[in-house]
Chain A
C-alpha cells in the first residue's frame, strides 16, 4: 500500500465537524449552500468533494460549475454547460438579459429535487454566473458547495452571496497537529518518529498540499525512510520555505512529452479528455494523473481534464509567453470548432478564446456575451467584449454597451468619443430603433453627469425624441428629458414639462418618469406626492428588474429619502438612508453609496448634528471625487463648509467652500444649496453681513428655479443669522405653497423671531423638537427665553433656558449665533479682550495681527468668538458691547 498510497489521493482526516454542518443543513433544510474559505492547499477541494459524495449517497444529483481565469472571461462561462442550449449557445441577438436569467433559473427549477452544484474556486467565477448562482441559491433551486481561496482578491459578488442567511460559511484552517500526524501515519502506513514529525509540521504549518509535497520530495530523495517500522529522517528534509518552489520543482521533473498537456491546461483550464489525448501519449497522461498533476473529472457523462491544483496553473502561466498562450488558446478553439462545437457552451468559449488569442471572433457572440455581462454589472468585461464586437462590426448596440461601460468607470471623454459619433450617425439616418435610443440615453447621461454639459444633454434627448417611433420609446425619452431638467437644477421646469406631456401607460416609461419626477416634486415642495410616486415606482421597478438604459431601482429609494427629508420626517428618512448606505457599502457600489451619504449629511444637518453630518459629507465628497460626479462633490463640500463653520473649524470651512465656488446660474442638482457652505464660512470668518448676502443670492437662485424647500432653508438661515424681519414674509408664502411641516416650522420660527414673541417661539421649540430638528429647536428656545425675560416673565424665561440647555446638549457642540442668549455673560479670555479692545478702537485684523505677532486668520478666529460671546455681529457694535460689560461687572 505504501507506494501507491503516497501518490494516490490522500484520505480525508479531521474535518468531521465540517461534514456534519453540511449533513445537518441538508437534513433540516436550514441552508441552501456552504462555502469553504481558506488559503491554497488547505484541503478545501478535498472536503468539498467529500461533501458532494455525502449528498450523492443521499440521492442528490451533482452538477459542476467550472470557475477558472479562462471561464471568467466569458459571461455564463462557468455554468454554460448546465444551461439550455438556446441560452448558452448562439441564440438570437436582442435577447432581453432579464429574460435569459429567468429562463436559466427556470431550467434549474425544472430539475425536481434541487441538484448539488459544486463550484471550485468560486472567486474565479465570471460575474454573470455568480449573479445567477446567487439567485439560484436564494430561491433554493440548488444546494451549493463552493470553495474560495482567501489568499486571492475576492470579487464583490461573493459578499452579496454570503449576505444571504441561506449560505453557510466555513473557514477552513490548517490541519491541527494531531490530525496531521494521523494523516501521515495512514498514508505512510506506519508511525512517523517525533523529530521527523516536528520538521514536517514546522515546514508545512498544517497545509495539506504542502505536507504532501514535502513528504513526496523527502521519500524521493531518501530523506524520509522506514527504520524498524517507524518513519525517520535520515538526512535533512529537502525543505524550502515555500510551497510554490516545491511545486515548481515537481513541474520541472515532468516528462517533456507531457509538457504540452500541462501548458494547454494552464491556458484553457478545462479540456475534453479526447483533446488532451491528442497532445501526449497515453502513458504520459497516466503518469500525470498518478502524480496528481492533472485530474480527470466526470460531469454530466462527459470527461474532461483539469490541472491537479490551481497553483500549478499559476506557475505554468507565469512562464508562458504571450505568443505561446495565444497559440494554445487558438489551437484549442480550432479543435473545438473541428469537432463541430457541439456542446452548448462551445460557441461562447470559442468567441472568448479567439478574443484573448487576438483572432477574429464572431461579433454576434461577443455582443451577446457583452449583454449578459452587462446584466451582471460586470462592466470591465462589457468593455472588453463590446469593444471587440464594435471593432469587428460597428453597431449602435455595441457602441451603447461600450460607451456605457466607459461611463461606468469614469472615462467620460472616452465614452463621448464612442457614443457621440454613434448618436450623430443614428440621428442623420433618423434611426428610431431601441439601440439608437439607448445610445442617445447613455450619451445624455454621460454629458449631464460625466462631462457637466447639461445643455448638450438636453439637446441629445430632444433630438432623439424627434425620431422615436413607439409610444414606449417616446415615454422613455420624455422621462430622460425631464431627468436632465431635474438633475440640472430645474425642478420647476421638470414638473411643468411632465405635467404638459402625455402619460405613457407602460411600466418602463412610468418607472423612468418617476426617476425624474419624484425628486422634482420633493424639491418644489410637493413632498407627499413625491413620496407616494417614489414608493410606487420602486415596487414597479423591482418587479420589472434592472433594465438597460434606466437607472438602478435604488434611485427610487434616494427619491423617497429626499422627499422624507424635505417633509421633515427626519427619523424615517435617516433610517431609510442608513439601510441604503449599508447595502451600498456591502455591495461595494459607489454611486448609490454617494447618494446615500449626501442625504445622510443633509438629514443629519436638519437634525442638528453637525459633526455627524460633516462625516457623511466628507464621505460623499470622497466618493463623488472617485466616481467623477463633480456636481455632487461640490454639493457635499458645501455641506462640509457649513458644518465645519458651525463647529468653529474655520480653516476647514474655508478650504471646502473655496472648492464649491458657486456662481449665479449654476446648472447642477440642487444648485442653490451650493451657497450654504460659503455663507456659513463667511459667518465663521466674522463676516455675518457677507454670510447673509450669500444666503440671499442662493435664495434668489432657488426662487428662480423653483427649489422651494431649498429656498426655505436658505431664508431660514438668514433669520438664524440675525435678520428674521427680512425673510419672514417670503417664508410664509413658501409654507403655504409647500406641504412640508419642516418648511412650515421654519416660517413660524422666523415670524416669531421677528416679533420677539416668547409664546410663539416656545411653540416653534416644540414644532422643531417633534420633527427631530434639535438645533433649530435649541435656537428657538434660546430666543424664547430672551423674549420672556424681556417681557418680564422670569419663570417662563428660566424654563426656556433649561429647555435650551437640554436641547443644546443633543447638538454635538454646534456653535451658531442663535445659541447665544442676549443675557449670557461668557467671560472673554485675556487674548480675546486684548484683540476686542484693539478692534473696537478701529484697527483692522491685519494691524492687530502685526501688533500682536499673530496671523490675521488667528485674529479673525478670536474676533469671531468675541462676537459670539458678546452677541454682536459687527465690529461697530464692539465698543458698545464692551462698555456694557464693564458696567455689568
Chain B
C-alpha cells in the first residue's frame, strides 16, 4: 500500500464523514444481512455504531504508515476481537461490505485506483489482526 494509495483512502474517509449516519446505517444493514451472527457483536446504539465504524476506518488508514508499530498492536487488537466473538469469516464479510458501501456511497468518485487502495489497505490490516489473534 503506497503513500499515494493511503492518501486516496484518507480522502475518501473525509468525503464520507459528513454523511456518517447514512453510511453507517447502510454498512450495518448489509453486514448483518451477509453475516447475521455478527449482529450481537455490535452495539444497538446508532451513535456508537457510527463512531465505531469511522474509528475502524481511521485505524485502517493510519495503521499502514506506521506498520511496524501496528503489527505489534495487531496482536492485542486481534485477540480483543476474538474475545468479542469475532471469527475469521467476519473479516471477509466486513471487507466485502465495506467495499460495496464505499462504491454505493461515493458513486463515480470511487475510481478503480481508489478501490484497489482500499482493498489492499483493508487486506493488510485485517491480515495483521488475524495473525495477531493466532499468536496469542
- A contact residues vs B (CB 8 Å cutoff): 1, 11-14, 16-17, 19-20, 50, 53-54, 178-179, 181-182, 185-186, 189-191, 193-194, 229-230
Partner among A1, A20, A53, A179 whose Cβ is within 8 Å of the Cβ of B68: A1
- Answer yes or no: B124 CB below 8 A from chain A CBs: yes
Task: Give 29 CB contacts A-B under 8 Å.
Answer: A1-B68, A11-B131, A12-B134, A16-B88, A16-B91, A16-B92, A16-B127, A17-B89, A17-B92, A20-B87, A20-B88, A50-B134, A178-B119, A178-B123, A179-B127, A181-B1, A181-B120, A182-B120, A182-B124, A185-B1, A185-B67, A185-B120, A186-B67, A186-B124, A186-B128, A189-B68, A190-B67, A194-B2, A230-B2
- Answer yes or no: B61 CB below 8 A from chain A CBs: no
Closest 10 CB pairs of A and B: A191-B2, A16-B88, A182-B124, A20-B88, A182-B123, A178-B123, A191-B1, A13-B127, A182-B127, A230-B2
Q: Closest CB of chain B to A24's CB: distance in Å?
A: 10
Give the chain B neighbours of A193 by CB distance below 8 A.
2
| Complex CA–CA separation, A181 to B91 (angstroms) | 18
> Contacts A190-B67, A229-B3 hold; do A185 and B91 have CB atoms under 8 A apart?
no
Q: Closest CB of chain B to A11's CB: distance in Å?
A: 6
A16 touches B130 (CB 8 A): yes
| Complex CA–CA separation, A230 to B71 (angstroms) | 18
Choose among B2, B119, B120, B131 the residue with the greatest number of A CB atoms under 10 Å from its CB. B2
Q: Closest CB of chain A to B2's CB: distance in Å?
A: 4
Choose among A13, A19, A181, A185 the residue with the greatest number of B CB atoms under 10 Å from its CB. A185
| Complex CA–CA separation, A54 to B128 (angstroms) | 16
- B contact residues vs A (CB 8 Å cutoff): 1-3, 5, 67-68, 71, 87-89, 91-92, 119-120, 123-124, 127-128, 130-131, 134
| Complex CA–CA separation, A185 to B121 (angstroms) | 11
Choose among B87, B127, B128, B134 the residue with the greatest number of A CB atoms under 10 Å from its CB. B127
| Complex CA–CA separation, A179 to B131 (angstroms) | 13
A54 touches B120 (CB 8 A): no
Give the chain B neighbours of A50 by CB distance below 8 A.
134
Q: Closest CB of chain A to B3's CB: distance in Å?
A: 6
Q: Closest CB of chain B to A12's CB: distance in Å?
A: 6
Q: A19-B134, A54-B134, A194-B2 are in contact. List 18 more A-B contacts (CB 8 A).
A: A1-B68, A12-B131, A16-B130, A20-B87, A20-B89, A178-B123, A179-B123, A182-B124, A182-B127, A185-B1, A186-B124, A186-B127, A186-B128, A189-B67, A190-B67, A191-B2, A193-B2, A229-B3
Q: Closest CB of chain B to A14's CB: distance in Å?
A: 7
Give the chain B neighbours of A1 by CB distance below 8 A.
68
For B130, the closest partner residue in chain A by CB is: A16
Q: Closest CB of chain A to B90's CB: distance in Å?
A: 11
| Complex CA–CA separation, A189 to B1 (angstroms) | 11
For A183, the closest partner residue in chain B by CB is: B127
| Complex CA–CA separation, A421 to B11 (angstroms) | 90
Q: Closest CB of chain A to B98's CB: distance in Å?
A: 14
| Complex CA–CA separation, A592 to B5 (angstroms) | 63
| Complex CA–CA separation, A17 to B2 (angstroms) | 27
B2 touches A186 (CB 8 A): no
A53 touches B123 (CB 8 A): no
Give the chain B neighbours of A194 by CB distance below 8 A.
2
Q: Closest CB of chain A to B86's CB: distance in Å?
A: 12
| Complex CA–CA separation, A17 to B130 (angstroms) | 11
Give the chain B neighbours of A185 by CB distance below 8 A.
1, 67, 120, 124
Give the chain A neighbours of B88 by CB distance below 8 A.
16-17, 19-20
| Complex CA–CA separation, A178 to B47 (angstroms) | 33
For B71, the closest partner residue in chain A by CB is: A186
A14 touches B127 (CB 8 A): yes
| Complex CA–CA separation, A391 to B130 (angstroms) | 59
Give the chain B neighbours of A13 by CB distance below 8 A.
127, 131
For A192, the closest partner residue in chain B by CB is: B2
Give the chain A neighbours of B123 by CB distance below 8 A.
178-179, 181-182
Q: Closest CB of chain B to A155's CB: distance in Å?
A: 33
For A229, the closest partner residue in chain B by CB is: B3
Give the chain A neighbours of B130 by CB distance below 8 A.
16
| Complex CA–CA separation, A12 to B132 (angstroms) | 11
Give the chain B neighbours of A20 by CB distance below 8 A.
87-89
Partner among A16, A189, A191 whose Cβ is within 8 Å of the Cβ of B3: A191
Give the chain A neighbours of B128 by CB distance below 8 A.
186
Give the chain B neighbours of A11 by CB distance below 8 A.
131
For A190, the closest partner residue in chain B by CB is: B67
Q: Closest CB of chain A to B62's CB: distance in Å?
A: 15
| Complex CA–CA separation, A17 to B127 (angstroms) | 12
B68 touches A178 (CB 8 A): no
Give the chain A neighbours of B68 by CB distance below 8 A.
1, 189
B67 touches A178 (CB 8 A): no
| Complex CA–CA separation, A538 to B118 (angstroms) | 64
| Complex CA–CA separation, A229 to B134 (angstroms) | 29
| Complex CA–CA separation, A14 to B130 (angstroms) | 10
Give the chain A neighbours of B5 by CB distance below 8 A.
191
| Complex CA–CA separation, A185 to B91 (angstroms) | 20
For B87, the closest partner residue in chain A by CB is: A20
| Complex CA–CA separation, A415 to B89 (angstroms) | 60
Give the chain A neighbours of B91 by CB distance below 8 A.
16
Q: Closest CB of chain B to A568's CB: distance in Å?
A: 57
| Complex CA–CA separation, A20 to B68 (angstroms) | 26
Q: Closest CB of chain A to B56's CB: distance in Å?
A: 18
Q: Closest CB of chain B to A545's CB: distance in Å?
A: 43
For A12, the closest partner residue in chain B by CB is: B131
| Complex CA–CA separation, A619 to B81 (angstroms) | 60
Q: Closest CB of chain B to A259's CB: distance in Å?
A: 36
Give the chain B neighbours of A54 by CB distance below 8 A.
134
For B6, the closest partner residue in chain A by CB is: A191
| Complex CA–CA separation, A191 to B120 (angstroms) | 10
| Complex CA–CA separation, A246 to B57 (angstroms) | 41
For A54, the closest partner residue in chain B by CB is: B134
| Complex CA–CA separation, A675 to B39 (angstroms) | 77
B131 touches A230 (CB 8 A): no
| Complex CA–CA separation, A54 to B92 (angstroms) | 20
Give the chain A neighbours of B71 by CB distance below 8 A.
186
Give the chain B neighbours of A189 by CB distance below 8 A.
67-68
For B3, the closest partner residue in chain A by CB is: A229
